[in-house]
Protein backbone atom coordinates (compact mmCIF):
# COMPACT_ATOMS: atom_id res chain seq x y z
CA UNK A 1 0.00 0.00 0.00
CA UNK A 2 2.86 2.38 0.81
CA UNK A 3 4.30 1.79 -2.66
CA UNK A 4 0.94 2.60 -4.24
CA UNK A 5 0.57 5.79 -2.21
CA UNK A 6 4.12 6.85 -3.10
CA UNK A 7 3.50 6.16 -6.79
CA UNK A 8 0.26 8.15 -6.63
CA UNK A 9 2.07 11.11 -5.07
CA UNK A 10 4.98 11.15 -7.53
CA UNK A 11 2.58 10.84 -10.49
CA UNK A 12 0.42 13.66 -9.14
CA UNK A 13 1.64 16.34 -6.76
CA UNK A 14 5.30 15.43 -7.15
CA UNK A 15 5.17 15.68 -10.93
CA UNK A 16 3.31 18.99 -10.78
CA UNK A 17 5.91 20.46 -8.44
CA UNK A 18 8.80 19.22 -10.57
CA UNK A 19 7.28 20.57 -13.80
CA UNK A 20 6.54 23.90 -12.12
CA UNK A 21 10.15 24.30 -10.91
CA UNK A 22 11.46 23.17 -14.30
CA UNK A 23 9.34 25.63 -16.29
CA UNK A 24 9.89 28.60 -13.97
CA UNK A 25 13.61 27.86 -13.56
CA UNK A 26 14.15 27.50 -17.30
CA UNK A 27 12.27 30.70 -18.09
CA UNK A 28 14.21 32.63 -15.44
CA UNK A 29 17.56 31.32 -16.72
CA UNK A 30 16.68 32.14 -20.32
CA UNK A 31 15.43 35.57 -19.30
CA UNK A 32 18.65 36.15 -17.40
CA UNK A 33 20.74 35.13 -20.40
CA UNK A 34 18.88 37.00 -23.12
CA UNK A 35 18.42 40.23 -21.16
CA UNK A 36 22.11 40.69 -20.36
CA UNK A 37 23.14 44.20 -21.27
CA UNK A 38 25.68 44.45 -24.06
CA UNK A 39 27.29 47.52 -25.51
CA UNK A 40 26.35 48.24 -29.14
CA UNK A 41 28.93 47.01 -31.65
CA UNK A 42 29.83 50.04 -33.76
CA UNK A 43 32.49 48.28 -35.83
CA UNK A 44 31.80 47.52 -39.49
CA UNK A 45 30.95 43.79 -39.81
CA UNK A 46 33.54 41.84 -41.80
CA UNK A 47 31.14 39.01 -42.61
CA UNK A 48 27.43 38.71 -43.28
CA UNK A 49 25.42 38.41 -40.07
CA UNK A 50 23.89 35.03 -39.36
CA UNK A 51 25.79 32.87 -41.83
CA UNK A 52 28.90 32.61 -39.65
CA UNK A 53 26.78 31.77 -36.64
CA UNK A 54 25.18 28.85 -38.44
CA UNK A 55 28.58 27.73 -39.66
CA UNK A 56 29.86 27.70 -36.08
CA UNK A 57 26.85 25.69 -34.89
CA UNK A 58 27.66 23.01 -37.46
CA UNK A 59 31.45 23.09 -37.03
CA UNK A 60 31.33 22.96 -33.23
CA UNK A 61 29.13 19.87 -33.49
CA UNK A 62 32.01 17.99 -35.10
CA UNK A 63 35.27 16.91 -33.43
CA UNK A 64 38.15 19.41 -33.80
CA UNK A 65 40.75 18.36 -36.40
CA UNK A 66 42.86 15.49 -35.12
CA UNK A 67 40.93 15.00 -31.87
CA UNK A 68 38.78 12.11 -33.08
CA UNK A 69 41.87 9.96 -33.67
CA UNK A 70 43.16 10.73 -30.16
CA UNK A 71 39.92 9.83 -28.37
CA UNK A 72 37.46 8.08 -30.68
CA UNK A 73 35.59 6.36 -27.85
CA UNK A 74 34.74 9.67 -26.18
CA UNK A 75 33.30 11.22 -29.32
CA UNK A 76 31.43 8.14 -30.52
CA UNK A 77 29.95 7.47 -27.08
CA UNK A 78 29.01 11.13 -26.71
CA UNK A 79 27.13 11.23 -30.01
CA UNK A 80 25.50 7.85 -29.36
CA UNK A 81 24.17 8.67 -25.91
CA UNK A 82 22.78 12.05 -26.97
CA UNK A 83 20.99 10.52 -29.96
CA UNK A 84 19.87 7.62 -27.77
CA UNK A 85 18.41 9.99 -25.18
CA UNK A 86 16.48 11.78 -27.89
CA UNK A 87 15.02 8.49 -29.12
CA UNK A 88 14.18 7.12 -25.66
CA UNK A 89 12.68 10.33 -24.31
CA UNK A 90 10.71 11.54 -27.33
CA UNK A 91 9.90 8.46 -29.38
CA UNK A 92 8.71 5.86 -26.85
CA UNK A 93 4.97 5.24 -26.61
CA UNK A 94 4.77 5.79 -22.84
CA UNK A 95 6.51 9.16 -22.97
CA UNK A 96 4.45 10.34 -25.94
CA UNK A 97 1.26 9.45 -24.06
CA UNK A 98 2.47 11.43 -21.05
CA UNK A 99 3.28 14.45 -23.20
CA UNK A 100 -0.10 14.14 -24.88
CA UNK A 101 -1.87 14.08 -21.52
CA UNK A 102 -0.05 17.26 -20.48
CA UNK A 103 -0.12 19.25 -23.72
CA UNK A 104 -2.50 17.53 -26.13
CA UNK A 105 0.35 17.15 -28.64
CA UNK A 106 1.38 13.73 -29.92
CA UNK A 107 3.37 12.07 -32.71
CA UNK A 108 4.05 8.48 -33.86
CA UNK A 109 6.17 6.28 -31.62
CA UNK A 110 8.85 3.73 -32.46
CA UNK A 111 8.38 0.00 -31.73
CA UNK A 112 9.09 -1.10 -28.15
CA UNK A 113 11.90 -3.41 -29.31
CA UNK A 114 13.69 -0.49 -30.95
CA UNK A 115 13.29 1.64 -27.81
CA UNK A 116 14.70 -1.21 -25.70
CA UNK A 117 17.74 -1.50 -27.94
CA UNK A 118 18.26 2.27 -27.91
CA UNK A 119 18.01 2.28 -24.11
CA UNK A 120 20.66 -0.41 -23.67
CA UNK A 121 23.00 1.29 -26.15
CA UNK A 122 22.44 4.65 -24.43
CA UNK A 123 23.25 3.22 -20.99
CA UNK A 124 26.41 1.56 -22.32
CA UNK A 125 27.51 4.77 -24.03
CA UNK A 126 26.95 6.79 -20.85
CA UNK A 127 29.01 4.34 -18.82
CA UNK A 128 31.80 4.61 -21.39
CA UNK A 129 31.66 8.42 -21.19
CA UNK A 130 31.99 8.21 -17.39
CA UNK A 131 34.91 5.78 -17.60
CA UNK A 132 36.66 8.06 -20.09
CA UNK A 133 36.14 11.04 -17.78
CA UNK A 134 37.63 9.17 -14.83
CA UNK A 135 40.53 7.54 -16.69
CA UNK A 136 41.73 10.54 -18.73
CA UNK A 137 43.88 12.74 -16.40
CA UNK A 138 42.94 16.04 -18.06
CA UNK A 139 39.21 15.30 -18.06
CA UNK A 140 39.39 14.08 -14.48
CA UNK A 141 41.19 17.25 -13.41
CA UNK A 142 38.66 19.50 -15.14
CA UNK A 143 35.63 17.58 -13.86
CA UNK A 144 33.73 18.90 -10.86
CA UNK A 145 31.03 17.47 -8.61
CA UNK A 146 28.45 19.11 -10.88
CA UNK A 147 29.69 17.11 -13.88
CA UNK A 148 29.23 13.80 -12.06
CA UNK A 149 25.90 14.90 -10.61
CA UNK A 150 24.65 15.84 -14.08
CA UNK A 151 25.72 12.42 -15.35
CA UNK A 152 23.88 10.67 -12.51
CA UNK A 153 20.74 12.77 -12.94
CA UNK A 154 20.66 11.75 -16.61
CA UNK A 155 21.65 8.12 -16.14
CA UNK A 156 19.17 7.14 -13.42
CA UNK A 157 15.95 7.93 -15.35
CA UNK A 158 17.14 5.84 -18.30
CA UNK A 159 18.19 2.94 -16.08
CA UNK A 160 15.10 2.91 -13.87
CA UNK A 161 12.83 3.28 -16.91
CA UNK A 162 14.37 0.18 -18.47
CA UNK A 163 14.14 -1.78 -15.20
CA UNK A 164 10.50 -0.75 -14.71
CA UNK A 165 9.53 -1.67 -18.26
CA UNK A 166 11.02 -5.15 -17.89
CA UNK A 167 9.87 -5.69 -14.27
CA UNK A 168 13.44 -6.12 -13.00
CA UNK A 169 15.12 -5.73 -9.59
CA UNK A 170 12.06 -4.38 -7.70
CA UNK A 171 8.28 -4.81 -7.93
CA UNK A 172 6.86 -2.84 -10.86
CA UNK A 173 5.05 -0.29 -8.69
CA UNK A 174 8.17 0.53 -6.67
CA UNK A 175 10.47 0.71 -9.71
CA UNK A 176 8.01 2.86 -11.64
CA UNK A 177 7.84 5.25 -8.68
CA UNK A 178 11.65 5.40 -8.58
CA UNK A 179 11.73 6.07 -12.31
CA UNK A 180 9.26 8.92 -12.06
CA UNK A 181 10.98 10.54 -9.08
CA UNK A 182 14.36 10.27 -10.84
CA UNK A 183 12.83 12.13 -13.79
CA UNK A 184 11.41 14.73 -11.41
CA UNK A 185 14.83 15.27 -9.84
CA UNK A 186 16.24 15.76 -13.33
CA UNK A 187 13.56 18.34 -14.09
CA UNK A 188 14.15 20.19 -10.81
CA UNK A 189 17.92 20.45 -11.18
CA UNK A 190 18.16 20.88 -14.96
CA UNK A 191 17.69 24.69 -15.05
CA UNK A 192 20.32 25.23 -12.35
CA UNK A 193 23.12 22.95 -13.57
CA UNK A 194 25.17 22.38 -16.72
CA UNK A 195 22.22 20.36 -18.02
CA UNK A 196 20.75 23.74 -18.99
CA UNK A 197 22.82 23.39 -22.16
CA UNK A 198 19.81 21.49 -23.53
CA UNK A 199 18.29 24.94 -24.17
CA UNK A 200 21.37 27.12 -24.58
CA UNK A 201 23.79 25.03 -26.64
CA UNK A 202 22.73 26.01 -30.16
CA UNK A 203 21.99 29.63 -29.30
CA UNK A 204 25.34 30.18 -27.60
CA UNK A 205 27.25 28.61 -30.48
CA UNK A 206 25.39 30.71 -33.01
CA UNK A 207 26.00 33.89 -30.98
CA UNK A 208 29.72 33.24 -30.51
CA UNK A 209 30.20 32.45 -34.18
CA UNK A 210 28.22 35.46 -35.33
CA UNK A 211 29.86 37.98 -32.98
CA UNK A 212 33.39 36.77 -33.60
CA UNK A 213 32.92 36.57 -37.36
CA UNK A 214 31.86 40.22 -37.43
CA UNK A 215 35.21 40.99 -35.82
CA UNK A 216 37.09 38.83 -38.30
CA UNK A 217 37.84 36.07 -35.78
CA UNK A 218 37.41 32.46 -36.88
CA UNK A 219 35.53 30.30 -34.33
Percent of the chain at pLDDT exceeding 70: 85
The whole-number pLDDT of residue 81 equals: 93
Rounded (10°) CA dihedral 62, 63, 64, 68: -150
b/e for 148-174, b at 16 or more Cβ within 10 A?
Answer: eebbebbbbbbbbbbbbbeeeeeeeeb
pLDDT per residue as tens digits for the range 186-204: 999 999 999 998 888 877 7
Predicted TM-score (pTM) of the model is 0.85
Query: What pLDDT band is residue 218 in, cutting at 50, 70 and 90?
Result: low
Q: Has residue 14 been placed in a domain?
A: no
Count of the separate structural domains present in the chain: 1
pLDDT tens, position by position, 112-156: 999 999 999 999 999 999 999 999 898 899 999 999 999 999 999
User: Quick check: is 202 in a domain?
Assistant: no
Q: In 71-193, where does DSSP find H-type helix?
A: 72-91, 93-103, 112-135, 137-142, 145-165, 172-189
Tell whether 108 is covered by a domain. Answer: yes
Say if residue 49's pLDDT is above 60.
Answer: no
- Residue 124 inside a domain? The answer is yes
* Average pLDDT score over the chain: 87
Q: Are 150 and 194 in contact (CB under 8 A)?
A: yes
| 213 φ, ψ (degrees, to nearest 5) | -65, -35
Residue of higher predicted confidence among 84 and 51: 84
Average pLDDT over residues 76-99: 93
Contact at 8 Å (CB) between 19 and 180? no
| Per-residue pLDDT tens digits for 61-81 | 777 777 777 778 888 898 999
Residue 34, number of CB atoms within 10 A of its CB: 10
With a cut of 60, say whether residue 165 has pLDDT above it: yes
* pLDDT at residue 68, rounded to an integer: 76
- Give CA–CA dist 52/210, Å, rounded: 5
Q: Is residue 131 part of a domain?
A: yes
Statement: residue 50 has pLDDT above 70: no
In terms of C-beta distances under 8 Å and separation of at least 24 residues, what long-range contacts does 108-117 make, across chains too? 114/87, 115/87, 115/88, 115/91, 116/162, 116/165, 116/166
Whole-angstrom distance between the N-terminal and C-terminal Cα of the chain? Answer: 58
- Answer yes or no: is pLDDT of 55 > 70: no
On whether residue 146 sits in a domain, the answer given is no
Q: What is the 3 state secondary structure string of 53-76?
A: HHHHHHHCCCCCCCHHHHCHHHHH
- Sign of torsion over alpha carbons 86, 91, 95, 99: positive
Residue 86 lies in a domain: yes
Domain enclosing residue 97, as ranges: 72-135
CB 48 within 8 A of CB 209: no
Amino acid sequence: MNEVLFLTWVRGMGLNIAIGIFVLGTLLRLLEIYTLGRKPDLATPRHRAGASGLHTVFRRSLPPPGMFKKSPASYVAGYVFHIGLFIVVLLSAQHIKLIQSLTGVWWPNLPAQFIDAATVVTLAAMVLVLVERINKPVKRFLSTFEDYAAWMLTFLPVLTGYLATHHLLLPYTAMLALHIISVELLLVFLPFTKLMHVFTLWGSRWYNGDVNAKKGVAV
